[in-house]
Chains A and B, each alone.
Chain A
Amino acid sequence: MSDNLIEIRDLSFAYSDRMVLKGINLSARRGQVIAIMGNSGCGKTTLLRLIGGAMRPTQGLLRVDGVDMGEVDQRGLYRLRRRMGMLFQFGALFTDMSVLDNVAFQLREHTDLPEEMIRDLALMKLNAVGLRGAQDLMPSELSGGMARRVALARSIALDPALILYDEPFAGLDPISLGVTGNLIRRLTDTLGMTSVVVTHDVHESLKMVDYIYFVSEGVIVAQGTPDEIKASELPYVHQFVHGEEDGPVPFHYPAPSYAADLELSA
């Protein structure tokens, strides 16, 4: 068994003729939490979707748990996905099912376990995220942070080897933010999973991840442990970590000169 759960070599991806990712090299060891960071539209969510098998790489190698994602067929992909969980940005809970049924969904779909056992397992997962008491609520009755935690419980229902998180911190209050961050770390450690977090929340991520990749315009521009990133002098990383308005990522969207647009003669 290879030490790396995710192995990406010279990966490129294009939507029709628009290059989104160019020559990405990345790896994640088993048991690690890695973060993929970058400003909006830099291609980080695309990278996550590629790892999840929602799209196929245009070029290069992408291997998840030994499976070549460029070659795998539908059956192989579904087999792999049973060992993979994904937390969507807003939870993506099934709105016609209660919290308990949401968590039990995969157990019911993929196992022949008796109903009492499914209920017990689902309650254990809910307990792990602190929401056993909310088992009978419907998703519409949950706050954003609670929905995210239920979705987390749902994604660990089958004890996956890998969990992908798409912006797990977006739109959360500071308390929920800390809770979610701690949960990701704790669940990864106790269940022996590997986690890939796509986020732009620098401070929360620096506290809990093992390794960070910075993506800008489809290229990995920096990488390192949280301490290395904090100490980095690279202008892009500096701008990102300190939230500066202007820098390598300009404040202004490319435009003709301001005077010309206002039709002012010099």
Chain B
Amino acid sequence: MINGLLNGVRRLGHRVVDMLWRMGVSTRFFLLLLLHSGQCFRRFHLIIREVFSTGVLSLIIILVSGLFVGMVLGLQGYETLQTYGSEEALGVLVSLSLVRELGPVVAALLFASRAGSAITAEIGLMKATEQLAAMEMMAVNPIARVVAPRFWGGVISMPLLAALFSAMGILGGWLVGVVLIGVDEGSFWSQMQAAVDFREDILNGMIKSFVFGVAVTTIALFEGYDAPPTAEGVSRATTRTVVTSSLAILGLDFILTAFMFRGV
């Protein structure tokens, strides 16, 4: 009985120490990454390549999801607004929900599962097949050559993808609200223009997606770099990337929203 309890406490202790250890190692990894970023900005084509593989290749899923989320918002929003006879405010509802919340958050969740998992798997496999060790032996620092360009590629892509997601969503809301249901087009757009503030809404949304971009790519890169060099290790790391970054996105979103929109 006492032994079982002691073992439980010991396991808990080990887990806490492991977690703290990983936090320390990942912070060090993040700082090293920033330290070695200068070189990849001098060779910007390395970053452009990563913007292509993380950003451009995620376009389809982002655009299609954005369109559908906007269409659903249009339907649901109309249902609720018409009870109060204010269905012309549909444009405001759709655009504010997307620009402030759904755009950055859903785009980041999709980005984590599409691009984040790919980054982890790629880096993990490069490690497992000794490509990173080979690079190190060729006097090329893998953090500077492989990790940093992927980081900046992801950080640049994320706000652009979120903006495209929101734009597609607004288009979807317009399709359902104006074209399908017949809400007045003039008030749909003019109310949206009047209600959406550049600094309050759009800029804050961009800041959110920038922070999510930093979080998701850092988690994905660290998990890949830290993965045990086996098939099982890489697959677990990929799963962990998606789970951890999704939780990080939701947690960070709450914190950022609390700071940005308090009292609005």
Digitize A90-126: 1 where CB-to-B-CB distance is under 8 Å, 0 elsewhere: 1011110000000001100110000000000000000
**Residues in A neighbouring B57, C-beta threshold 8 A:** none
Does B175 reach chain A (CB closer than 8 Å)? Answer: no
**Residues in B neighbouring A218, C-beta threshold 8 A:** none
CA distance A82 to B135 in the complex (A): 11
Residues B133 and A81 in contact, CB atoms below 8 Å apart: no
Closest chain A residue to B145, Cβ basis = A109
Residues B137 and A86 in contact, CB atoms below 8 Å apart: yes
| B47 shortest CB reach to chain A, Å | 15
Residues A92 and B131 in contact, CB atoms below 8 Å apart: yes
**Which residue from A54, A92, A95, A110 sits with its C-beta under 8 Å from B139?**
A110
| A125 shortest CB reach to chain B, Å | 14
**Which residue from B131, B139, B141 sits with its C-beta under 8 Å from A82?**
B139
CA distance A93 to B131 in the complex (A): 6
Digitize B118-142: 1 where CB-to-A-CB distance is under 8 Å, 0 elsewhere: 0000000110011101111111110
| A109 shortest CB reach to chain B, Å | 5
CA distance A106 to B133 in the complex (A): 14
Residues B134 and A109 in contact, CB atoms below 8 Å apart: no
Instruction: Enumerate B144-199 residues with CB–CB distance to A below 8 Å.
Output: 145
Residues A54 and B145 in contact, CB atoms below 8 Å apart: no
Does A145 reach chain B (CB closer than 8 Å)? Answer: no
Residues A106 and B136 in contact, CB atoms below 8 Å apart: no
**Residues in A neighbouring B139, C-beta threshold 8 A:** 77-79, 81-82, 106, 109-110
CA distance A196 to B136 in the complex (A): 19
Report if A95-B145 is in contact (Cβ < 8 Å); known contacts: A78-B139, A84-B137, A109-B140.
Answer: no
Closest chain A residue to B125, Cβ basis = A95
**Residues in B neighbouring A81, C-beta threshold 8 A:** 137-139
Interface size class on chain B is 10 to 19
Residues A106 and B129 in contact, CB atoms below 8 Å apart: no
Number of A-B residue pairs with CB-CB distance less than 8 Å in the complex they form: 48
Residues A92 and B134 in contact, CB atoms below 8 Å apart: yes
Chain B, interface SS category: helix
**Residues in A neighbouring B133, C-beta threshold 8 A:** 54, 88, 92
| B53 shortest CB reach to chain A, Å | 9
Digitize B92-131: 1 where CB-to-A-CB distance is under 8 Å, 0 elsewhere: 0000000000000000000000000000000001100111
CA distance A52 to B137 in the complex (A): 7
CA distance A92 to B145 in the complex (A): 16
CA distance A123 to B138 in the complex (A): 19
**Residues in B neighbouring A78, C-beta threshold 8 A:** 139, 141
Most B CB within 10 A of own CB, among A52, A89, A90, A92: A92
Residues B134 and A106 in contact, CB atoms below 8 Å apart: no
CA distance A81 to B140 in the complex (A): 9
CA distance A105 to B146 in the complex (A): 13
**Which residue from A52, A77, A92, A105 sits with its C-beta under 8 Å from B130?**
A92
**Residues in A neighbouring B131, C-beta threshold 8 A:** 92-95
**Residues in B neighbouring A88, C-beta threshold 8 A:** 130, 133-134
**Residues in B neighbouring A93, C-beta threshold 8 A:** 131
Digitize A195-208: 1 where CB-to-B-CB distance is under 8 Å, 0 elsewhere: 00000000000000
Residues A106 and B140 in contact, CB atoms below 8 Å apart: yes
Digitize A229-241: 1 where CB-to-B-CB distance is under 8 Å, 0 elsewhere: 0000000000000
Q: Chain A residues in contact with chain B, CB under 8 A?
A: 52, 54, 77-79, 81-82, 84-86, 88-90, 92-95, 105-106, 109-110
Besides the contacts A92-B131, A106-B139, A109-B145, what 16 more A-B pairs have beta carbons closer than 8 Å? A54-B136, A77-B139, A81-B137, A81-B138, A85-B137, A85-B138, A88-B133, A89-B130, A90-B130, A92-B134, A93-B131, A95-B125, A95-B126, A105-B138, A109-B138, A110-B140
